[in-house]
């Protein structure tokens, strides 16, 4: 068992051998290091991907942000 907020808690040894236990943030760091991708390039790629998705859907990312009302606890 690993003490982690992000990632695996109870690790099956077979899964470790097949896939490893790196969380998504750890994987991102590993890929960036392996392929020499700096943070600015990562941010630029994310921005382009977000803009492309928005254009493909014919929308505006700002329009996708909507308020969500969460009711309080019910009174007994």
Q: What is the pLDDT of residues 6-49, one digit of tens each?
A: 666 677 888 888 888 887 788 888 989 999 999 899 889 888 88
Terminal CA-CA length for the chain: 40
- DSSP state, 50? H
pLDDT digits (tens, 9 = 90+) for 53-66: 656 566 666 777 78
Q: What is the pLDDT of residue 6?
A: 61
| Lowest-pLDDT range of 3-7, 9-13, 70-74 | 3-7
Contact in structure between 61 and 54 (CB atoms under 8 Å): yes
């Amino acid at each position: 068992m690993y003490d982690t907020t992000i990632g695996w808690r109870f690790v099956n040894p077979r899964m470790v051998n097949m896939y490893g236990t790196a969380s998504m943030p750890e994987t991102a760091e590993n890929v960036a290091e392996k392929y020499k991708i700096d943070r600015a390039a990562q941010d630029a790629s994310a921005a382009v991907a977000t803009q492309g998705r928005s254009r493909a859907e014919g929308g505006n990312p700002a329009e996708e942000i909507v308020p969500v009302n969460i009711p309080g606890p019910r009174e007994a």
